[in-house]
Amino acid sequence: MEPTDLNLTVTQREQCMVEAQVFGIYKHFSDLPSRAQTVMLELVRDKHIEYLTDGLQQLGSSFRVLDANRPWLCYWILHSLALLGEYVDDELENNAVDFLNRCQDPNGGYSGGPGQMPHLATTYAAVNALVTLGGQRSLSSINRDKLYTFLRRMKDPSGGFRMHEAGEIDVRACYTAISVASVLNILDQELVENVGNYILSCQTYEGGIAGEPGSEAHGGYTFCGLATMILIGQVHGLNITGLMNWVVFRQGVECGFQGRTNKLVDGCYSFWQGGVFSLIQRLRTVVNEQLVMMDDGKQDGSSRCTQIPVKSHASERKQDSEGTSSQYDESRWEQGGAPAGLPRSPDLINLSNIGLSFVEQHTENGPLFHSLALQQYILLCSQVLNGGFRDKPGKARDYYHTCYCLSGLSVCQYSCSKDLDSSPLPHALFGPYSNLVESVHPLYNIVLNRYHAAHDFFRGS
């Protein structure tokens, strides 16, 4: 099944579905769109906006559903609307800002609902939601000083972060802490200290990144770990070639991505795995350096990062548009086992500029995954024609899958573009050009123009 152009016949599309069923994905074949409905494979934009706006209105009127998850619902819905190029009206915007403010803890951070314990995941969701809303009222509602102290309290002496007070330390916690600190321009050396080593300890023999040391590599954590390493300027410490080797095998015959080896594809991994590709595309220097080392016969391509030899000039340092400071330290690899530790981030790194310079660079590299095929999975299998997206046929739509399917669609559509703020060429899109959605900043999963506005707002303060 190779959907290589926009002119797939209905018969070919039906063949895709039949093949997918043969591979055991569609237990509910009748759930798939009918033949007539799939002809154009259109994004049913108006239906999605209706579904999302309804969700936001329900939140606004009661704010009672899913008690510990409400900032997430705000982010998933607001981000999905932003991807569709929609702005919410003043009343809904004010309600959302007020509600998120009630989730803000007096001592910093955001909880899942008013009066609850602040948590890093809901802090990330609330901050991304407020940045997506944008504007003075929304952005200035974030108490950055208190938020910084919350992040410092969540920092474990080992370097990782805890999700909440006395909570678990994992890669998600590292990403959510570093992502909000970066977007709010409060990232500093104290927060960064030893996070890189924690993430390195989670890269597995398969090449992907696990949630915690010793666990299985997973797309969600691989995105979090890779994005964190870029945001702290230490991505060169990961075995990127090994990571690429792992992620390229995660796109299934059904065209969607699976989260981990031998599991089913799921629409939400369109972003978690698709986002990994978007990041890797912008890591040309690091990828080339590691490929050269492999060419030198010093590295087995399937090996883990601890076996990457290092350059002999340990003092070499540079910060480039990938937000990477190349600093090689031979002693790190000498043990033949786990790395002895990433060097402390050089002071030369401007932590406040990494997110912006990363997204401003041009990339000559095309996507390393089948972008049109993934768009087909999203539009044909995950899209619900009444609005919203789902994991796969047979499952119900929800706001989480709507957010991450649309985010994945965006990553696909801009995957052939040299830069993220110009419109892609029609051949990059599956279906009509009206399917085009907004581009995202792949490190934060925030719509790019909303990120730029927030970056300007928090710059220099």
The site for Zn ion (CB under 5 A) is made up of 266, 268, 391
Please select the residue that binds ligand FPP; options are 127, 224, 226, 405, rule is CB under 6 A: 224
Looking at beta carbons, which residue is closest to Zn ion?
Answer: 268
d(CA 406, CA 270): 9
Residue 260 bears catalytic tag: yes
| 272, interface contact from Zn ion, ligand FPP, none, CB < 5-8 Å by kind | ligand FPP
**Nearest distance from C-beta of residue 272 to ligand FPP, angstroms:** 5
Residue 329 annotated among the catalytic residues of the structure: no
Q: Residue 260's binding partner, choosing from ligand FPP, Zn ion, none, with beta-carbon cut-off 5 to 8 A by kind?
A: ligand FPP
Please, where are the H alpha helices in 184-282?
189-192, 195-200, 219-231, 240-247, 269-281
Q: Select the binding partner of residue 391 from Zn ion, ligand FPP, none (C-beta < 5 to 8 A, by kind).
A: Zn ion
The answer to whether 67 is a known catalytic residue is: no
Phi first, then psi: give them for residue 111, nearest 5 degrees: -105, 175
Closest CA to 305 of 212, 404, 203: 203
**Biggest alpha carbon–alpha carbon distance for the chain:** 63
79 is a catalytic site residue: no
CB-nearer residue toward ligand FPP: 75 or 333: 75
Map 56-69 to HEC letters: HHHHHHCCCCCCCC
Q: Which residues contact 288 (CB under 8 A, 6 or more apart)?
A: none
Other CB atoms closer than 10 Å to residue 123's CB: what's the count? 29
Active site residue 146: no
Binding partner at 104 among Zn ion, ligand FPP, none, C-beta below 5 to 8 Å by kind = none
In contact, 276 and 283? CB cutoff 8 Å = no
Q: Is 176 in the site for ligand FPP (CB under 6 A)?
A: yes
**Nearest Cα to Cα of residue 371 among 422, 425, 430:** 430
Residue 103 annotated to the active site: no
Q: Which does 322 bind (CB under 5 to 8 A by kind): Zn ion, ligand FPP, none?
A: none
Is residue 220 close enough to count as binding ligand FPP by CB under 6 A? yes
Residue 263 site contact among ligand FPP, Zn ion, none (CB < 5 to 8 Å, cut-off depends on kind):
ligand FPP
**Residue 121 binds: one of ligand FPP, Zn ion, none (C-beta under 5 to 8 A by kind):** ligand FPP
Q: Report if residue 119 touches ligand FPP, rule: CB under 6 A.
A: no
Determine the Cα–Cα distance for residues 57 and 396; give it in Å rounded to an integer.
20
Q: Would you count residue 328 as binding ligand FPP (CB under 6 A)?
A: no
User: What whole-number distance in Å separates Cα of residue 167 and Cα of residue 57?
Assistant: 33
CA distance 388 to 290: 41
**Least Cβ distance, residue 225 to ligand FPP (angstroms):** 10
Nearer to ligand FPP, 172 or 455 (CB): 172
Helices (H) and strands (E) in the chain, counts: 19, 2
For the chain, how big is the Rg over CA atoms in Å?
21
Give the helix/strand (H/E) hosting 373: helix 371-376
**Which of ligand FPP, Zn ion, none sits in contact with 339, Cβ below 5 to 8 A by type?**
none
398 is catalytic: yes
Phi/psi region, residue 326 (left: phi>0; alpha: psi -120 to 50; beta: rest), is beta
> In the complex with ligand FPP, which residue's Cβ is closer, 92 or 224?
224
Among 440, 444, 442, residue whose Cα is nearest residue 458? 444
The candidate with the shortest Cα–Cα distance to 434, out of 423, 442, 445, 443, is 423
Nearest alpha carbon to residue 457 among 127, 1, 58, 147: 127
Q: How far is the CB of 211 from ligand FPP (least distance, A)?
A: 6
Which of the residues 268, 381, 405, 412 is marked catalytic? 268
Q: Is 95 in the site for ligand FPP (CB under 6 A)?
A: no
Residues 260-289 interacting with ligand FPP (rule: CB under 6 A): 260, 263, 266, 272
User: Residues 307, 310, 314, 319: what is their CA dihedral angle, to the nearest 10 degrees?
Assistant: -100
Binding range to ligand FPP, per CB under 6 A, among 42-50, 220-228, 235-243, 295-303 = 220-228
Q: Applying CB under 6 A, which of residues 218, 282, 370, 397 lies at the interface with ligand FPP?
A: 218
Residues in contact with ligand FPP, counted by CB under 6 A, come to a total of 14
Stretch that binds ligand FPP, among 1-9, 171-179, 379-387, 418-426 (CB under 6 A): 171-179
414 binds ligand FPP (CB under 6 A): no
Residues that bind ligand FPP (CB under 6 A): 121, 124, 172, 175-176, 218, 220-221, 224, 259-260, 263, 266, 272
- Hey, which residues are catalytic here? 218, 260, 263, 266, 268-269, 391, 398, 401
